[in-house]
Amino acid sequence: MSEESKPVARPPRPTYAPIITVQQHILREQRRFAGVSGEFSWLLSGITLATKLIEAKVRRAGLADILGSAGETNVQGEVQQKLDIYANEMLLNALSVRESVAMLASEENEQPLLAHGGSPHAKYIVVFDPLDGSSNIDVCGSVGTTFSILRRTTTDLDSEVSADEVLQPGSKQVAAGYVVYGPSTMLVYSAGNGAHGFTLDPAVGAFVLSHPNIRIPAYGKYYSMNEAYLDRSPAIYQEYVHRLRDGSLGRPYASRYVGSMASDIHRTLLKGGVFLYPPTADHAQGKLRLLYEANPIAFIVEQAGGSATDGHGRILDIQPTSIHQRTPLVVGGPDEMRAFAKIAAAAR
């Protein structure tokens, strides 16, 4: 047989299972849905790039005092920034060059920002909290990033984007997710077809699929809230928490509270249970922001089989009226949410 006519050899059986990176996963997802184009995966790669840059900075946060503290010049002659400002800039930089992004809104910016000089045909709006639970940084605790992706509300993409286009109920999210910077860094996202978790492999710098199709357990062992506020919360929250404690909801619960919502939600998602941030006497709408904290979390948790309410109705049905609007939040697995709904209904 001549050299040229030799058959092409089959590849050997792989020794290792192939890894799936978040980029591969997004590309696969977008093929499944009509109307989701390649622009979308390019956009999401902006988020993964920025969160990898944030993670690298978070890992070195404990060295800030040695290298120079916020606002000072460090030994390399660089001006140190607060980490939440840095995280915001990384997301703004990475996303504003994506042609499909029309507008960006962040917890750190009073007003939404036009991206890409108002690029024609840009159809997405990205809303985020760049560094959730940032006070944990000082004590080497875990922090997070939350994000939500919306389509522009107009079909005339040549029209100038208006700030009001960001005011959409969470049910309109095209995709949403969060990143937890903990012992390892994890990204959980959903584009409306289940919630999927990826762990950052720092050796190769890729988010690798580690938790496909996350399902929140039917019930868990923990509730999660800042209990210092319980006495100043409405009666339904007090009754609910007392009943979680005394075992009358089927089992006695223990509590866990990290103080970074993304981290507390991540535990709740994987282990079951409930997370609450109630209204208080001082803050009638609680503390958490609807557009870039509660909505992405509610989207993910619903995709995983749980639910989220503001104490009256579904979080994802709330029509926002302002960009930084706050909302009470109760989010968790089926058993815990059923019990909360029962107590809330009985009080009406």
| Residue 165 interacts with Mg ion (CB under 5 A): yes or no | no
- Please identify, using beta-carbon distances, which residue of 165 and 310 lies nearer to ligand AHM: 310
For 196, the token pair is: 């999927």
Work out which of 21, 74, 109, 226 binds ligand AHM, going by CB under 6 A.
Answer: 226
With contacts defined by CB under 5 A, how many residues of the chain interact with Mg ion? 2
- Could you say which residues in the range 189-218 bind ligand AHM, by CB under 6 A? none
Q: Which residues contact 63 (CB under 8 A, 6 or more apart)?
A: none
Q: b/e map of 204-237 (b: 16 or more CB within 10 Å)?
A: eebbbebeeebebbebbebbbbeeebbeebbebb
136 vs 124: CA distance, rounded Å: 31
DSSP conformation class of 233: S
| Residue 133 interacts with ligand AHM (CB under 6 A): yes or no | yes
What is the DSSP annotation of 135-168? GGGGGT--EEEEEEEEE-S-S-TTSPP-GGGG--
Residue 229 one-letter amino acid: Y
- Please identify, using beta-carbon distances, which residue of 102 and 188 lies nearer to ligand AHM: 188
- Please identify, using beta-carbon distances, which residue of 199 and 226 lies nearer to ligand AHM: 226
Q: Which residue is nearest to Mg ion (CB)?
A: 132
- Please identify, using beta-carbon distances, which residue of 132 and 302 lies nearer to Mg ion: 132
Shortest spacing between CB 287 and ligand AHM, in angstroms: 5
194 burial via Cβ count (<10 Å: 0-12, 13-18, 19+):
middle
Which partner from the list ligand AHM, Mg ion, none does 98 bind, CB cut-off 5 to 8 Å by kind? none
| Residue 260 interacts with ligand AHM (CB under 6 A): yes or no | yes
Query: Which whole-number Å values give the CA distances from 144 to 178, 188, 205, 262, 265, in the listed order?
Result: 7, 11, 18, 5, 10
Stretch that binds ligand AHM, among 74-82, 172-180, 253-261, 303-311 (CB under 6 A): 253-261
CB contact at 8 A, 143 and 125:
no
Work out which of 129, 302, 310, 335 binds Mg ion, going by CB under 5 A.
Answer: 129
Residue 255 one-letter amino acid: S
- Please identify, using beta-carbon distances, which residue of 301 and 344 lies nearer to Mg ion: 301
Stretch that binds ligand AHM, among 18-26, 37-45, 126-134, 174-182 (CB under 6 A): 126-134
Cite the DSSP H helix spans in the chain. 22-32, 38-59, 64-67, 83-96, 235-246, 261-271, 295-303, 334-347
| Residue 132 interacts with Mg ion (CB under 5 A): yes or no | yes
| Residue 224 interacts with ligand AHM (CB under 6 A): yes or no | no
| Residue 145 interacts with ligand AHM (CB under 6 A): yes or no | no
With contacts defined by CB under 6 A, how many residues of the chain interact with ligand AHM? 11
List, in sequence order, every residue forming a beta bridge with 113; answer none if it has no partner.
104
Shortest spacing between CB 293 and Mg ion, in angstroms: 5
| Residue 336 interacts with ligand AHM (CB under 6 A): yes or no | no
Tokens 């999401």 belong to which residue?
44
- Please identify, using beta-carbon distances, which residue of 324 and 338 lies nearer to ligand AHM: 324
CA atoms within 13 A on the CB side of 187: 28
- Please identify, using beta-carbon distances, which residue of 254 and 347 lies nearer to ligand AHM: 254
User: Which is nearest to 237 in space by CA: 296, 309, 320?
Assistant: 309
- Could you say which residues in the range 276-315 bind ligand AHM, by CB under 6 A? 277, 287
User: Which is nearest to 256 in space by CA: 238, 233, 240, 272?
Assistant: 272
Work out which of 29, 55, 129, 336 binds ligand AHM, going by CB under 6 A.
Answer: 129
Stretch that binds Mg ion, among 47-55, 115-123, 124-132, 202-210 (CB under 5 A): 124-132
State the residues that interact with Mg ion by CB under 5 A: 129, 132
State the residues that interact with ligand AHM by CB under 6 A: 107, 129, 132-134, 226, 259-261, 277, 287
